């Protein structure tokens, strides 16, 4: 399986309102087939007031800008008819402050008051998130509530069994609409506040047990084929704990290590990453080019040759690789946590950014017309990144044993890494030169930026 993350608003627009939608996605099945991806991850498609959709107003309804529930089902059918699976994003940690549950809770209505977390005298209300300067607690109309992702996204209280039950109903509902599985958003945050101590603390054990419950319900409905991938942005050893229960987890360290190594021109981080995350594991790692929470790949690796090497590493390593929409075209974008729109610009179908299917909901700053990043320009150019990615996805399909493989015998010099990938029966050795000059390693001669599979 090869995954593809789609930011729905930005991908393909079927009704010329500028906003990407379900019908638009359904109309682009030929593109998915050409690209060679067969597992689509949709960023949140539920009713929501924001451009990003991670703050939900109604889990049982779609964002009207993307289409109706019937349009959603038609899209699922079209993808399935073409052998493509679909997973949806599940932001369960919090809801929108406009969700009826939160509104009722703010009015003091039972049972909804107990759906959220309220300040207690021994809590440190000035505490900030450990990774930036955002406060965890927010006060409105004299009431102080918990919201890790800001005041407009109050956290749900999973100490309340009713909330757990509601989330399982949502899982059931969407599986019955035909989806093949989920991306578990903010998976380590479901239980991240120690009420006794009154401070922030991840309870990984409780989180994993909760996601196991979700998986059990999902399997009851859909059988063993359900696919789920967790988003745990943390050290590999913590990711391990979630992945071995859920079956698959995004490998953030892969993305970070390769980007960093290639920027610095030495393979050490990649070596460390492969040894920590890609050896034989009881789960499928999900390596990826990037996502909507970070700088675009091409922003950090400006040379197309470097990105070709990234794709080579991605497609020769185990698990379920994911491509962030537009990375196959070298779309650029600088991430900023207070303004994330630069990494979710409309997918450029045409050099002119105009034509059937083209989304245009926002002005573009990084991927302007006629700057080379469109599908049209890539198809017209010999040796383009898109063509190289297509070759790699073909290679991946021919070697589908790679899903359940692992990495062994990692060796390296400063610029070159070599590794064996095997599933016990099949195998090959890969040599990768990340430098812009010729290298010879273990007797293998490598051109600048070359990935060689032997
Ligand atoms: C998800 C979505 C994101 C979404 C939300 C909320 C969650 O993908 O788009 O925001 O629904 C944290 C969370 C993640 C979250 C990101 C954005 N992503 O854990 O679930 O924030 C450190 C922390 C991480 C943190 C990361 C952020 O540990 O927890 O992610 O920083 O940069 C090494 C370390 C690792 C460290 C990294 C980076 O890898 O091992 O620990 O991570 O370096 O330093 C959406 C919108 C937001 C909106 C929200 C409501 O995009 O704008 O506010 O919804």
CA distance 170 to 122: 34
Closest CA to 375 of 357, 393, 396: 357
Structure-token match 């070359």, residue found: 450
330 alpha carbon – ligand 1 mean position (Å): 23
**Ligand 1 contact, 342 CB (< 6 A):** no
**C-alpha dihedral sign at 439, 440, 446, 451:** negative
CA distance 46 to 371: 33
Number of residues written out for the chain: 454
Ligand 1 atom with least separation from CA of 256: 39
**Ligand 1 contact, 292 CB (< 6 A):** yes
233 alpha carbon – ligand 1 mean position (Å): 7
User: 143-146 and 137-140: which strand pairing?
Assistant: antiparallel
Q: Are 404 and 421 in contact (CB under 8 A)?
A: no
CA distance 270 to 255: 9
**Ligand 1 contact, 339 CB (< 6 A):** no
The pLDDT, as a whole number, for residue 338 is 87
At residue 305 the predicted structure's pLDDT band, cuts being 50, 70 and 90, is very high
Ligand 1, atom 54, lies closest to the CA of 54
Per-residue pLDDT tens over the stretch 7-57: 999 999 999 999 999 999 999 999 999 999 999 999 999 999 999 999 999
Q: What is the mean pLDDT of residues 320-348?
A: 97
Ligand 1, atom 35, lies closest to the CA of 234
Other Cβ atoms within 10 Å of 416 Cβ, number: 20
Beta bridge partners of residue 90, listed in sequence order? 184
Other Cβ atoms within 10 Å of 78 Cβ, number: 17
293 alpha carbon – ligand 1 mean position (Å): 7
By annotation, the residues acting in catalysis are 185, 231
Per-residue pLDDT tens over the stretch 162-173: 999 999 999 999
Per-residue pLDDT tens over the stretch 238-266: 999 999 999 999 999 999 999 999 999 99
163 alpha carbon – ligand 1 mean position (Å): 23
pLDDT at 109 over 90: yes
> Which superfamily does CATH assign the domain made up of 100-146 to?
Oligo-1,6-glucosidase; Domain 2 (3.90.400.10)
The pLDDT, as a whole number, for residue 379 is 98
**Ligand 1 contact, 185 CB (< 6 A):** yes
The helix, strand and coil proportions of the chain, stated in percent and rounded to the nearest 5, come to 35, 20, 45
Ligand 1 atom with least separation from CA of 294: 32
Closest CA to 377 of 355, 395, 393: 355
pLDDT at 376 over 90: yes
The pLDDT, as a whole number, for residue 161 is 98
Closest CA to 278 of 402, 400, 406: 406
Strand order in the sheet with 181-184: 284-286, 248-250, 227-230, 181-184, 85-90, 39-42, 3-6, 322-324
Ligand 1 atom with least separation from CA of 188: 19
HSE-CB for 447 with a 13 A CA cutoff: 6
The model's pTM is 0.98
Ligand 1, atom 49, lies closest to the CA of 149
State how far the alpha carbon of 325 is from the alpha carbons of 43, 230, 345, 361, in Å.
11, 19, 10, 16
Beta bridge partners of residue 431, listed in sequence order? 418, 452
Every domain of the chain and the residues it spans: 3-93+161-404, 100-146
Residues 6+ apart with CB under 8 A from 396: 2, 36, 315, 321, 402
CA angle 197, 239, 162 (to 5 degrees): 55
Mean pLDDT of the chain: 98
At residue 401 the predicted structure's pLDDT band, cuts being 50, 70 and 90, is very high
185 alpha carbon – ligand 1 mean position (Å): 9
Residue 111, preceding peptide bond in cis (omega within 30° of 0): yes
Q: What is the mean pLDDT of residues 351-370?
A: 98
**Ligand 1 contact, 43 CB (< 6 A):** no
Phi/psi at 351 (nearest 5 deg)? Answer: -60, -35
May I ask the CATH architecture of the domain 3-93+161-404? Alpha-Beta Barrel (3.20)
User: Quick one: DSSP state of residue 156?
Assistant: B
Q: What is the mean pLDDT of residues 341-354?
A: 98
The pLDDT, as a whole number, for residue 339 is 86
Ligand 1, atom 1, lies closest to the CA of 186
CA distance 354 to 360: 9
Per-residue pLDDT tens over the stretch 184-194: 999 999 999 99
């Amino acid at each position: 399986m090869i995954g593809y993350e789609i930011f729905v608003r930005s991908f393909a627009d079927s009704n010329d309102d500028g906003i990407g939608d379900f019908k638009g996605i359904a109309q682009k099945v030929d593109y998915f087939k050409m690209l060679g991806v067969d597992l689509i991850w949709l960023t949140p498609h539920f009713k929501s007031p924001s451009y990003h959709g991670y703050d939900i107003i109604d889990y049982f309804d779609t964002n009207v800008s993307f289409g109706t529930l019937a349009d959603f089902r038609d899209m699922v059918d079209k993808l399935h008819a073409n052998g493509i699976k679909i997973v949806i994003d599940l932001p369960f940690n919090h809801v929108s402050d406009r969700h009826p549950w939160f509104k009722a809770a703010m009015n003091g209505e039972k049972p909804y008051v107990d759906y959220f977390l309220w300040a207690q005298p021994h809590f440190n209300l000035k505490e900030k998130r450990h990774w930036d300067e955002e406060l965890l607690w927010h006060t409105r109309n004299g009431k102080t509530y918990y919201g890790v992702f800001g005041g407009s996204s109050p956290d749900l209280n999973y100490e309340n069994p009713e909330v757990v039950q509601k989330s399982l109903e949502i899982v059931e509902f969407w599986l019955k609409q035909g989806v093949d599985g989920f991306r578990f958003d903010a998976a380590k945050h479901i239980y991240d506040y120690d009420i006794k101590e009154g401070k922030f603390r991840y309870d990984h054990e409780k989180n994993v047990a909760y996601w196991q419950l979700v998986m059990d319900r999902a399997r009851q409905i859909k059988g063993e084929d359900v696919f789920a991938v967790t988003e745990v942005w943390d050290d590999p050893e913590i990711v391990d704990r979630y992945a071995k229960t859920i079956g698959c987890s995004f490998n953030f360290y892969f993305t970070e290590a390769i980007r960093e190594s290639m920027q610095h021109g030495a393979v050490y981080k990649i070596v460390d990453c492969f040894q920590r995350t890609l050896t034989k594991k009881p789960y499928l790692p999900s390596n990826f080019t990037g996502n909507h929470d970070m700088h675009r790949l091409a922003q950090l690796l400006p040379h197309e040759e470097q990105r070709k090497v990234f794709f080579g590493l991605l497609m020769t390593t185990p698990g379920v690789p994911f491509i962030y929409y537009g990375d196959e075209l070298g779309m650029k974008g600088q991430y900023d946590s207070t303004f994330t729109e630069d990494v979710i610009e409309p997918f450029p179908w045409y050099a002119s950014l105009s034509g059937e299917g083209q989304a245009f909901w926002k002005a573009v700053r990084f991927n302007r017309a006629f700057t080379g990043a469109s599908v049209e320009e890539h198809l017209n150019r010999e040796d383009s990144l898109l063509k190289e990615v297509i070759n790699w996805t073909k290679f991946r399909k021919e070697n589908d044993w790679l899903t359940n493989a692992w990495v062994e015998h990692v060796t390296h010099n400063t610029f070159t890494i070599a590794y064996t990938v095997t599933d016990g029966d099949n195998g090959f050795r890969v040599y990768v030169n990340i430098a812009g000059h010729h290298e010879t390693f273990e007797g293998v001669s490598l051109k600048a930026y070359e990935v060689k599979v032997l």
